[in-house]
Structure 1
Amino acid sequence: MAELQLKSHRFREEREADWRRLETLLAKVEKGGAAKLRRNELLEMPVLYQQALSSLSVARSISLDQSLVEYLESLCTRAYFFVYGTRTRLGERVLGFFRHEWPAAVRGLWRETLVSAAIMVVGAITAFVLVGQDPDWFYGFIPAELAGGRDPTASAASLRSTLYGEATLRDGLGVMAAFLFTHNSQVAIFAFALGFALCLPTAGLMVYNGCMLGAFLALFASHGLAFEATGWLMIHGVTELFAITLAGAAGFSIGWAVAFPGERTRVDAAAHAGRRAAMVMGGVVVMLFAAGLLEGFARQLIRHDLARYAVAAATGIFWAGYFYLPRKAPR
């Protein structure tokens, strides 16, 4: 034991200066980025990293004390990310995501996006027609306890007051709005997560979400309030429904890769599709957050129909331009 301790002490004494030097340079990088290093220090880093790796290999082979081995492992891991890892800061990565990576991932799923949107529209039209022909269908899509009296038995005056009155969470329509946002967020997550099951659960979720939308609009349309209700809904619904559509597209892309993997194995095909779909879903979370802000503030503050439609149109134009207008490729 005494011989082992002596060997460890000599080993550390001969090499510790280089380890400390590497640790000092890493601390400068971690604090202010690679720009903090001078030219000679940048050239010095790979050499010190290789020396630290060599020391770690020797320490493991001659069974030096575990604390020294753990210290060298930590030091080499930190140095590895500088020597071989990306040199971008967090802010640059976030900027790159919003400027290039997310829009490119969405454009890559344009076919799946069209399919997702078409399925939701079919569901909405179906529910709208069914409720229009038989109001009892409304309860098949929206539970009576959730409607809070805003159902086929309500008067036109009562429904109109919910569109322009003080909408709090205690109001029936306010409760419905909160529920719809929570529901839509869940639909977006599950549509993506269940896409691997050959697209079927994702398609079902898109249909049902469209049916809820259609039933809601049919209720107000039956009292001559379709224009007003659409403006009330679309002020945040453009962003929210677009987010759900993209989540469905992400789920469809994974399901399609599993069903038709091509030359890849199903696991490899699903993993390849999943990376792009996950990029899309990261942005969907941002869109749902933006929709929540629009619902919580703009919908309450803006009471004029044309102003509501203007906001809805502006958000639609913004998202369409953001995702689909040509842009310079990243360098």
Structure 2
Amino acid sequence: MDLDAFTSVHSAAWDRLAVLTRRRRLDGAEADELVRLYQEVATHLSTVRSAAPDPVLVTRLSDLLTRARSRISGAHEPAWADVVRYAAVTVPAALYRVRWWTLGVVLACLVVGVVVGWRVATVPEALAAMGTPAAREQYVNEAFASYYDPQASFAAMVWTNNAWISALLVAFGVTGVAPVYILWQNAVSIGATGGMMAAYGELDTFLQLIAPHGQLELTAVFVAGAAGLKTFWAMVDPGPRKRSAALAQEGRALVTCAVGLAGALALSGLVEGFVTGSDLPWWLKIVIGSVALALFWAYVLVLGRRGVEAGETGDLDVDRAGAVQPTAG
């Protein structure tokens, strides 16, 4: 094939396609012409590649077609409206859908923590398992309170630690075993620490230092565990959905929950880093922690309920997640 002759014959169409691609607004006739020329030039590119694959001409036509295709289909650019909708609708809806699972996890962990704390505080053998008398006294009288150092680096460390625990609950939620184990360990650890503080008459110190940030921090951990368990249950009992579809849908919603919890943990980290160890009155610290918790639940229950009622699940939309074959039931 004579490339010079081929270029001479079709260059007018190529130039016209380039003009239409750059034009800001197109009327109906021009839009139809753009589509027609795109198809025509695509045929030209195919011909060149098969008959005389000149790299310069192939690159020119490929670039032209790429720009024309973007003009026809419309390049998707993230908009603030999408970000706002995700934060105000999608995330709270995903958290709202696990609210009853969260309540179950909270009650279970509360029972475990109280039982363990009572045992450590009242049974000498359980208290002895917490360490030597000297180590226990040093922890109760110094280490526990000195841990809460009000500064930015401490807040960042707290957020990283809590985010890591939540990430484990999310990542291994599908196993069903990992969330139970991690939640159990967390409840036992907090309960045992509180029991040891109570045994030395420092239960009030324990509660004053835990309550400001712990209300939101522990709630976020419980929600992460609940979301992980809900994903596991979707595999056990998918309902009318196919098991693979149910697991995929709940797994994507689980990631959405994780995004929301990252924000909640950031807020609790700020409270722990700058409020818990500060010189503020203890009652004011607890009030600040309670307000942070109330804001989280208002976000979940108010915005989340609206989102769910509007059909939001926390999953991706069909365009991004892909269509799911309907199932009976």
Residue of structure 2 in register with 1:167 after alignment: 149
Q: Following the alignment from structure 2 to structure 1, what is the Cα–Cα distance between the partners of residues 287 and 38?
A: 62
Q: Following the alignment from structure 2 to structure 1, what is the Cα–Cα distance between the partners of residues 157 and 238?
A: 38
Q: Is the 8 A contact 1:101 1:279 kept in 2?
A: yes
For each residue in 1:241-273, what CA deviation from the matched residue of structure 2 results, as whole angstroms up to 9, or x when unmatched? 222122112211211111122333322111111
* Aligned: 1:67 with 2:43: no
Aligned length, in residue pairs: 297
Report the TM-score, using the length of structure 2 for normalisation: 0.76
For each residue in 1:273-312, what CA deviation from the matched residue of structure 2 results, as whole angstroms up to 9, or x when unmatched? 1122221111111112222222222223343211111111
| 3-state SS in 2 of match to 1:63 | helix
Q: Following the alignment from structure 1 to structure 2, what is the Cα–Cα distance between the partners of residues 231 and 290?
A: 18
Amino acid at match of 2:98: L
Q: Following the alignment from structure 1 to structure 2, what is the Cα–Cα distance between the partners of residues 24 and 179?
A: 52
Q: Following the alignment from structure 1 to structure 2, what is the Cα–Cα distance between the partners of residues 214 and 118?
A: 14
In structure 2, relative to structure 1, the CA distance for the partners of 1:274 and 1:138 (3 Å cut) is same
Match of 1:124 among 113, 127, 130: 113
Q: Following the alignment from structure 2 to structure 1, what is the Cα–Cα distance between the partners of residues 14 and 300?
A: 54
Match of 2:174 among 169, 177, 196: 196
Q: Is the 8 A contact 2:165 2:221 kept in 1?
A: yes
Q: Which has the higher contact order (CA 8 A, sep 6+)?
A: 2
For each residue in 1:102-149, what CA deviation from the matched residue of structure 2 results, as whole angstroms up to 9, or x when unmatched? 11111112222223323332332243234222223436xxxx9xxxx9
Q: Is the 8 A contact 1:109 1:253 kept in 2?
A: yes
Q: Following the alignment from structure 1 to structure 2, what is the Cα–Cα distance between the partners of residues 42 and 114?
A: 57
> Could you tell me the percent identity over the aligned residues?
18
Match of 1:230 among 207, 212, 216: 207
Report the TM-score, using the length of structure 1 for normalisation: 0.75
Q: Which moved more, 1:60-69 or 1:232-241?
A: 60-69
Q: Following the alignment from structure 2 to structure 1, what is the Cα–Cα distance between the partners of residues 207 and 108?
A: 20
In structure 2, relative to structure 1, the CA distance for the partners of 1:180 and 1:52 (3 Å cut) is same
1:50 is displaced (CA, Å) by 2.5
| 3-state SS in 1 of match to 2:114 | helix
Match of 2:138 among 146, 154, 157: 154
Equivalent residue runs for 1:1-331 within 5 Å: 3-8=2-7, 10-25=9-24, 41=26, 47=32, 50-51=35-36, 53-55=38-40, 57-64=42-49, 65-76=57-68, 78-79=70-71, 82=74, 89-132=78-121, 133=123, 134-138=126-130, 151-154=135-138, 157-158=141-142, 162=146, 167=149, 181-197=159-175, 199-325=176-302
Q: CA RMSD in A?
A: 3.5
5+ unaligned residues in a row in structure 2: which ranges?
50-56, 312-329
In structure 2, relative to structure 1, the CA distance for the partners of 1:209 and 1:157 (3 Å cut) is closer
Q: Following the alignment from structure 1 to structure 2, what is the Cα–Cα distance between the partners of residues 122 and 180?
A: 25
